[in-house]
Structure 1
Amino acid sequence: MTNAERQSTLGFMAHVPQRLDPDRRRRRLELLAALADAKSAREHSQPQRLRGARLRELIANRRRLEN
């Protein structure tokens, strides 16, 4: 089976993502770290928001288990 045949039978699942160049990968990792820091700071400054999010998640999980 050639690569073209494999792509036509598997459709979009056969797509292999390209590796990011080092600079782009570094910038992406820096952005993800900054987002994680911002989320952590927001959770510390707004604990009621975090409690509400946890409660909503617990309720959603319970509903999924009941259905």
Structure 2
Amino acid sequence: MSDLPAGAGGPEKAGPGAPETDAERRRRRARFLRDLAEARALRARVQPRRAKAARLRHAMRMRTFRW
């Protein structure tokens, strides 16, 4: 996670009405996905039984999925 406060953006912040570039959107998405993966890993460590059950359910869904 970044050490910057939530509202502190870098030089990519041009203003409230400025259109977002693809690079900014990809950067934001990558950060979101990193944070999401970190949160899932933390949840798996804190609740191992529930995480195991979720893994088993996901494996069952994948086995029974039809292409």
Offset, 1:53? 1.5
Q: Percent identity?
A: 43
* Larger RCO (CA within 8 A; separation ≥ 6): 2
Offset, 1:51? 1.5
Listed as ranges, the gaps of 5+ residues in structure 1 are 1-19
TM-score (norm 2): 0.53
* RMSD across aligned positions (CA): 2.2
Offset, 1:61? 5.5
Corresponding residue for residue 15 of structure 2: none
Per-residue CA shift, 1:2-52, capped at 9, x if unaligned? xxxxxxxxxxxxxxxxxx611111011000100000000000000011111
TM-score (norm 1): 0.53
Residues 25 and 51 of structure 1, relative CA distance in 2, 3 Å threshold: same
Structure with the greater alpha carbon radius of gyration: 1
Q: How many residues align?
A: 45
The reply to whether residue 23 of structure 1 matches residue 24 of structure 2 is yes
Residues 52 and 23 of structure 1, relative CA distance in 2, 3 Å threshold: same
Listed as ranges, the gaps of 5+ residues in structure 2 are 1-20
Offset, 1:59? 4.3
